[in-house]
Amino acid sequence: MSSHPPTHRKVTLNDIAAGCALSRATVSLVLRGSPLVNRETRARVERELRLQGYVYNRAAANLRRRTSTSIALVLNDLANPFFAEFAAGVDEALAAAGYVTLLGCTGESASREQAVLSSLLEHGPAGIILSPAEHSNAQDVLAAIGPLSPLLLFNRELGGVAPEKARWDQLALDNQRGARLATEHLIERGHRRIAFFGGHHDSSSCSQRRAGFVEAMQAADLPVEPAWQIECAPTRLDAAHRTAALFGGDAAPTAAVCYNDAVALGLMLGLNQRGLRPGKDFALTGFDDIAEAALGMPPLTTLSTAPHERGMQAAQLMLQRLHEPHTPNRQTIAPVKLVIRASSCPPPAF
Amino acid sequence: MSSHPPTHRKVTLNDIAAGCALSRATVSLVLRGSPLVNRETRARVERELRLQGYVYNRAAANLRRRTSTSIALVLNDLANPFFAEFAAGVDEALAAAGYVTLLGCTGESASREQAVLSSLLEHGPAGIILSPAEHSNAQDVLAAIGPLSPLLLFNRELGGVAPEKARWDQLALDNQRGARLATEHLIERGHRRIAFFGGHHDSSSCSQRRAGFVEAMQAADLPVEPAWQIECAPTRLDAAHRTAALFGGDAAPTAAVCYNDAVALGLMLGLNQRGLRPGKDFALTGFDDIAEAALGMPPLTTLSTAPHERGMQAAQLMLQRLHEPHTPNRQTIAPVKLVIRASSCPPPAF
DNA sequence: ATGCAGATTTGGAACGATCCAAATGTAACT
DNA sequence: AGTTACATTTGGATCGTTCCAAATCTGCAT
């Protein structure tokens, strides 16, 4: 008995059923590992499946079952290693749970975010993990995703809706505590004139970090000099350009708490250009602990956020939410860890 | 006339049709922008779509049409910035063409690659873009994906099948030319004792790069010292550990062509630990031009591969393949560009 | 024989869209 | 009025699966 010549049509349940002289329904039961089916027929079916090279059509199954086995992951910037590792973590945990990741990148544009969200939604993900673009607002996001899919926000808040009414879960870093730790560390090293450098004031993570900075300064009775609160885009380049702003007045700071590692690395460049040696003449800290931080010249004191683990955590939170759709919203704050390296030297004259 | 209270069921074509007193078929025509439908009814339908918050169910449509609007992207290592940027490029181009990216990470494990591929396949992607894990072999990959989906290989070859019989497209970097350029550059700077450092001999990209190195050396009548062909894993850490191997004999090399940037950065660390200043006492080059390369101490001479553009190119190639399924397989070699920075100094005594 | 319980198997109607051939409506021309 | 042409709409079958209630098959006690 020869099997049919390999046609180029996709092989379906019907083909298998026909090949075994069984009904579609029985074969379906085998596929789902039902205990109802006889050992022997199961074996027969499984042989046929292998023989014909059957591949399960999850889309059709999901259509009928009104379920979904995919989760959308929408990121503002995949090229940033922090998010790339996060994505790897999400995918790993989702795959382990039998889900598949639908990827979407927004490139920090709120309008592309809209487009990406609605395109992904058409593929019917069970849920959405979103790291919002900079000026994305809750109204639009909620309108795009509708009332059906659970949403997990990562890393940034979403403006425009009272936190009480938010119908999403959230996973954020402990920005405030992290910045406080970094500031306390610099104070302990003997610094008294400390700047907060980088980030945009309308970004939630930036204002949280700044709050941690202020908290530590005030606890130590140190002045928070307004002239040393420097804003800049969270990129190396802009940070390097804005370095001069620190040294405008008569007294200059001896250290800076930077918004993140990218900014800190940029500030290092700017310092070098002014003839100041970071880690010797000027101390600084970052945030994120990206790979480059350990390799900088000098290596950068920073806050480790374990992005891969955050990704796995985000996936877990989403899976829990799918399992219990009606529990109240969760706000999860992930701990961060101060990693002390050579960039946080004592002040020169100390 | 009040619309139904917002139920929690998903709204379908039928709901819209009922709401307009039209048939499903007509509404479907509207959705697909058919010119057949009357201006006025179209407007009526579109209003109703908005009103009820309809979201298109692409899975159902694809089932009926026997099409797909997703593409699987399977990567060996998303945490590597090179692949992260590549992924961002792929996603950008796919999204622009109306496709969605199904992500899968293998973590360099051939067995996970199998699992990831078969899981993704069940979601019926129109094609697969794969950067194979290190020891993945063609047999298994082809068995997993079956004869249906087009496959585009990125960056690495797939062992176990004669290239003639390969039923996939390929996008690779011009590894050989890149390494030749780097080597020629070092020779021009005055080096004569040059090592090739890093990578595994069973990796296709590594042997291509080594071939380019040998080509340049032989063209300049310089000896290819077997003791200076050092293998190591393509990571910073292992590269740093293996540094000593370069300095075992009586005469040491004055420069090294490194397998990639990660290896080069690791070698820099190893040199520093031995009291050698990279870029002054010893010259070296990398491959990839990752972000850290420009910021190293010293900045690293390397080969720029434009991973984001490669990603877009990969997506384009896949889309073309989908458009013309029966054209013969393409092998595309992407150019690389030598970026000269401070790490490739002349030899000390020159 | 008959009935009954447990173990297996099964037909047909879903899921939410698209396709196709046929139906309907409208206007214009003999 | 009858025919034709064109524009617009539609019912029902279909894609590949799952669900459900009902059918079939056993063996075994009555």
pLDDT at B163: 66
Tell me the mean pLDDT in the region A158-177. Answer: 87
pLDDT tens string B57-78: 999 999 999 999 999 999 999 9
Which residues 60-99 of A have a C-beta within 8 angstroms of B? 60, 62-63, 66, 69-70, 73, 77-79, 81, 83-85, 87-88, 91-92, 95, 98
Integer Cα distance of B350 and B187 in angstroms: 12
A111 CA vs D15 C1’ separation (Å): 34
pLDDT profile of chain B (350 residues), mean per 10: 53 96 97 96 97 97 97 94 95 98 96 97 98 92 92 90 81 97 98 96 91 98 96 88 91 96 91 92 95 82 97 98 94 97 90
Tell me the mean pLDDT in the region A23-48. Answer: 96
- Sorted by where each starts, the structural domains of chain A and their CATH numbers stand as 13-56 (no CATH), 69-173+307-334 (3.40.50.2300), 175-305 (3.40.50.2300)
Which DSSP symbol is given to A83? H
The enclosing H or E element of A162 equals: none
> Strands B100-105 and B70-75: what pairing?
parallel
pLDDT at B278: 95
To the nearest 10°, report the CA torsion of B73, B79, B84, B86.
-60
- Name the nearest CA neighbour of A230 among A255, A254, A258, A205: A258
Nearest-CA residue relative to C1' of D16: A60
Compare CB distances from A79 to B63, B85, B105 and report the shortest one's residue. Answer: B85
pLDDT tens string B201-224: 888 899 999 999 999 999 999 999
- Name the nearest CA neighbour of B260 among B286, B242, B236: B286
Helices (H), ranges, chain B: 13-20, 24-31, 39-52, 58-65, 81-96, 110-121, 138-145, 175-188, 204-219, 236-242, 261-273, 291-295, 307-323
Residue whose token pair is 């310089």: B222
Chain B residues with CB-CB distance to A124 below 8 A: 57-59
CA distance A118 to chain B (A): 8
- Best mutation target among B118, B122, B269, B297 (most A Cβ atoms within 10 Å) is B122
**Edge-to-edge strand ranges of the sheet holding A100-105:** A331-334, A169-173, A151-154, A127-130, A70-75, A100-105, B100-105, B70-75, B127-130, B151-154, B169-173, B331-334
C1' nearest to CA of A64: which nucleotide? C15
Contacts of A241 (CB under 8 A, 6+ apart): A232, A270
- Name the nearest CA neighbour of A173 among A95, A83, A73, A110: A83
Nearest-CA residue relative to C1' of C14: A64
pLDDT at A161: 77
C1' nearest to CA of A32: which nucleotide? D18
Which residues 88-147 of A have a C-beta within 8 angstroms of B? 88, 91-92, 95, 98, 100-105, 107, 115-116, 118-124, 146-147
